[in-house]
Homo-oligomer: A and B are copies of this chain.
Amino acid sequence: MIDLTSVLAFNAAYADAIDSDHLEEWPDFFTPDAHYRVTHIENEQQGLPAGVIWADSRDMLIDRVAALREANVYERQRYRHLLGVPVLGESQPGGLSARTPFMVARIMATGETVLFASGVYRDRFVRAQGRLLLAERVAVCDSTVTDTLMALPL
């Protein structure tokens, strides 16, 4: 049984790992064969699977973290996620679906803070070894022009 409070706590830890520069912990929120994608609303509505970021395993997320570290993204920017309360679907054998809205601010080295992205996570949660994990997280951005090419994870 996955309840609202446990999903709230999961999402809080997820955002905190990214925003605290503990990027290496980020893949641990996913199952080994998880699907993760960042896309935008128009692609989703047209059923276009390609997103600006796309991974179908935890290993690909680990690779992405390594690439971000090499590119030294944190020298140039910082993120702050603010997540809303999830709307939970029904529990299914394949897991629990959930929709969670997000806003992300980007703080540049100059100190300037802008609202970088907003959207909704479309998630599927499973419970494995007593822990909650993401089997799928699709971050659907509201804007079609968010620059996420070399960005930190949403």
B142 touches A80 (CB 8 A): yes
A96-146 CB contacts (< 8 Å) to partner B: 99, 101-103, 105, 107, 110-120, 142-146
A5 at interface (Cβ–Cβ under 8 A)?
yes
Bound complex: CA of A112 vs CA of B146, how far in Å? 9
Bound complex: CA of A110 vs CA of B145, how far in Å? 8
A23 at interface (Cβ–Cβ under 8 A)?
no
Of the candidate stretches A27-35, A61-69, A83-91, the one touching chain B is A83-91
Closest to A100 in B: B12
Q: Within 8 Å CB of A119, what residues of B?
A: 80
Q: Within 8 Å CB of A110, what residues of B?
A: 145
B105 touches A118 (CB 8 A): yes
B101 touches A15 (CB 8 A): yes
Most chain B CB inside 10 Å of its own CB: which residue of A15, A78, A113, A144: A113
Q: Within 8 Å CB of A81, what residues of B?
A: 84, 101
A4 at interface (Cβ–Cβ under 8 A)?
yes
20 chain-A/chain-B pairs, Cβ below 8 angstroms: A4-B9, A9-B88, A12-B86, A12-B87, A15-B84, A16-B99, A16-B101, A16-B120, A78-B142, A80-B101, A80-B118, A80-B120, A82-B82, A82-B101, A82-B118, A83-B84, A105-B115, A107-B118, A111-B145, A115-B115
